[in-house]
């Protein structure tokens, strides 16, 4: 009986530690992740931003709220991939918002689409008109809602 009590306390401590790992920046359990919840990614995107000569750029912050355990978010601007990052969610969390470091995007009007590649399915967003300000940054909030991938622009 004494051994099972110690084992039970140890199991509770491990579960609590896993739940709190998302609250402590820079701490991850298991394999290294390319993103930390509500923190910027330390890895850079492999896709290059759309380039226009002599056009000012503004920062765009990208975040994704999802219940998926693991996937990959790809954002296309004017048909060119500007963002391609992996995301992971701990088993014990129902939903998680992952926020990445801002990207510099040329100001002006653009066409925005996004894809989320899951382990079993690919989710596509509608095409959105995006107007990037010359003077202030914006945030793109992607949300998985059932079978849909939606985008909300916040400035």
Residue 84 lies in a domain: yes
**Rounded to whole angstroms, how far apart are CA atoms 86 and 88?**
7
- Determine how many CB atoms are found less than 10 A away from the CB of residue 114: 23
Q: Is 41 helix (H, G, I), strand (E, B) or coil?
A: coil
Q: State yes or no: pLDDT of 134 exceeds 70.
A: yes
Q: How many domains does the chain have?
A: 1
Written as one string, the DSSP assignment of 58-71 is EEEEEEEEE--SEE
Q: How confident is the model at residue 55 (pLDDT cuts 50, 70, 90)?
A: confident
Residue 18 lies in a domain: no
**Domain enclosing residue 112, as ranges:** 31-154
What was the pLDDT predicted at 8? 60
CATH (domain of 93)? 2.60.40
Ramachandran class of 143: left when φ > 0, alpha when ψ lies in -120 to 50, beta otherwise: beta
Residue 20 lies in a domain: no
More confident of the two residues 145 and 141: 141
Of 57-66, 108-117, 146-155, the range with the lowest mean pLDDT is 146-155
Residue 149 lies in a domain: yes
144 closest CA partner among 95, 100, 109: 95
State how beta strands 148-154 and 108-118 pair.
unpaired
More confident of the two residues 148 and 53: 148
Residue 89 lies in a domain: yes
H or E segment and range at residue 12: helix 2-20
- Determine how many CB atoms are found less than 10 A away from the CB of residue 77: 22
Contact between 87 and 115 under an 8 Å Cβ cutoff? The reply is no
């Amino acid at each position: 009986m004494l051994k099972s009590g110690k084992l039970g306390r140890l199991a509770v401590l491990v579960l609590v530690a896993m739940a709190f790992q998302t609250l402590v920046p820079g701490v991850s359990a298991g394999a290294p992740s390319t993103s930390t919840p509500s923190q910027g990614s330390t890895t850079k995107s492999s896709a290059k931003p759309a380039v226009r000569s002599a056009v000012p750029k503004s920062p765009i912050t990208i975040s994704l709220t999802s219940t998926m355990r693991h996937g990959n978010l790809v954002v296309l601007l004017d048909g060119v991939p500007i963002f391609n990052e992996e995301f992971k969610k701990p088993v014990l969390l129902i939903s998680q918002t992952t926020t990445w470091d801002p990207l510099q995007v040329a100001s002006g009007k653009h066409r925005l689409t996004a894809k989320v590649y899951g382990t079993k399915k690919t989710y596509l967003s509608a095409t959105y008109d995006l107007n990037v300000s010359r003077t202030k940054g914006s945030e793109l909030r992607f949300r998985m809602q059932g079978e849909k991938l939606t985008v909300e622009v916040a400035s």
